[in-house]
Amino acid sequence: MKWCGVKNGKLMSLCVANQFDIILTIDKNMIHQQNIDKYPVTIAVFNSSTSKIEELLLFIPSFVKQINHFAKPKAYIIEK
Protein backbone atom coordinates (compact mmCIF):
# COMPACT_ATOMS: atom_id res chain seq x y z
CA MET A 1 0.00 0.00 0.00
CA LYS A 2 3.12 2.17 -0.15
CA TRP A 3 2.88 3.11 3.52
CA CYS A 4 6.54 2.42 4.29
CA GLY A 5 7.85 5.07 6.64
CA VAL A 6 4.40 6.31 7.67
CA LYS A 7 4.41 7.40 11.33
CA ASN A 8 2.09 5.66 13.82
CA GLY A 9 -0.58 8.38 14.11
CA LYS A 10 -0.96 8.64 10.35
CA LEU A 11 -0.79 4.84 10.07
CA MET A 12 -3.67 4.46 12.51
CA SER A 13 -5.76 6.94 10.51
CA LEU A 14 -4.95 5.17 7.24
CA CYS A 15 -5.92 1.80 8.72
CA VAL A 16 -9.27 3.16 9.88
CA ALA A 17 -9.91 4.88 6.54
CA ASN A 18 -9.17 1.59 4.76
CA GLN A 19 -11.42 -0.37 7.15
CA PHE A 20 -8.70 -2.48 8.74
CA ASP A 21 -9.86 -4.54 11.70
CA ILE A 22 -6.43 -5.39 13.12
CA ILE A 23 -3.00 -3.79 13.05
CA LEU A 24 -0.33 -6.44 13.60
CA THR A 25 3.01 -5.04 14.72
CA ILE A 26 6.14 -5.67 16.74
CA ASP A 27 6.29 -2.00 17.80
CA LYS A 28 5.66 -2.27 21.55
CA ASN A 29 5.73 1.51 21.92
CA MET A 30 2.78 2.02 19.59
CA ILE A 31 0.23 1.21 22.30
CA HIS A 32 1.78 3.81 24.62
CA GLN A 33 2.31 6.52 22.01
CA GLN A 34 -1.19 6.52 20.52
CA ASN A 35 -4.63 7.25 21.96
CA ILE A 36 -5.98 3.81 21.10
CA ASP A 37 -9.54 4.70 22.13
CA LYS A 38 -9.61 7.21 19.28
CA TYR A 39 -9.35 4.52 16.58
CA PRO A 40 -11.87 1.69 15.99
CA VAL A 41 -9.18 -0.89 15.33
CA THR A 42 -7.48 -3.67 17.29
CA ILE A 43 -3.72 -3.58 17.77
CA ALA A 44 -1.95 -6.92 18.15
CA VAL A 45 1.69 -6.67 19.19
CA PHE A 46 3.98 -9.66 18.80
CA ASN A 47 6.26 -9.51 21.84
CA SER A 48 9.34 -10.18 19.74
CA SER A 49 12.82 -8.76 20.01
CA THR A 50 13.44 -9.20 16.29
CA SER A 51 11.62 -8.83 12.99
CA LYS A 52 13.09 -12.03 11.55
CA ILE A 53 10.36 -14.08 9.93
CA GLU A 54 11.57 -17.27 11.61
CA GLU A 55 10.94 -15.66 15.00
CA LEU A 56 7.63 -14.04 14.05
CA LEU A 57 6.20 -17.32 12.77
CA LEU A 58 6.44 -18.67 16.33
CA PHE A 59 3.76 -16.16 17.41
CA ILE A 60 1.18 -17.23 14.82
CA PRO A 61 -0.39 -20.13 16.79
CA SER A 62 -1.01 -17.90 19.81
CA PHE A 63 -2.32 -15.09 17.61
CA VAL A 64 -4.75 -17.43 15.84
CA LYS A 65 -6.05 -18.76 19.19
CA GLN A 66 -6.81 -15.23 20.40
CA ILE A 67 -8.05 -13.48 17.27
CA ASN A 68 -11.74 -14.33 17.78
CA HIS A 69 -11.65 -12.72 21.23
CA PHE A 70 -10.17 -9.39 20.16
CA ALA A 71 -12.22 -6.25 20.73
CA LYS A 72 -11.98 -2.74 19.33
CA PRO A 73 -10.45 -0.39 20.33
CA LYS A 74 -8.00 -2.46 22.32
CA ALA A 75 -4.40 -3.58 22.18
CA TYR A 76 -3.11 -7.06 22.89
CA ILE A 77 0.40 -8.31 23.54
CA ILE A 78 0.88 -11.67 21.85
CA GLU A 79 3.34 -14.10 23.38
CA LYS A 80 4.73 -17.26 21.76
Q: Do residues 37 and 73 make contact, with C-beta atoms less than 8 angstroms apart?
A: yes
Q: Model confidence over 18-70: pLDDT tens digits? A: 999 999 999 999 999 989 999 999 999 999 999 999 999 999 999 999 999 99
Give SS3 for 45.
strand
Spatial strand order in the sheet of 42-46: 22-25, 42-46, 75-78
Nearest to 37 by CA among 6, 67, 14, 71: 71
CB neighbour list of residue 39: distance below 8 Å, 6 or more residues apart = 12, 13, 15, 16, 73
The pLDDT value given to residue 9: 87
The pLDDT value given to residue 34: 87
Nearest to 77 by CA among 59, 52, 50: 59
- pTM above 0.85? yes
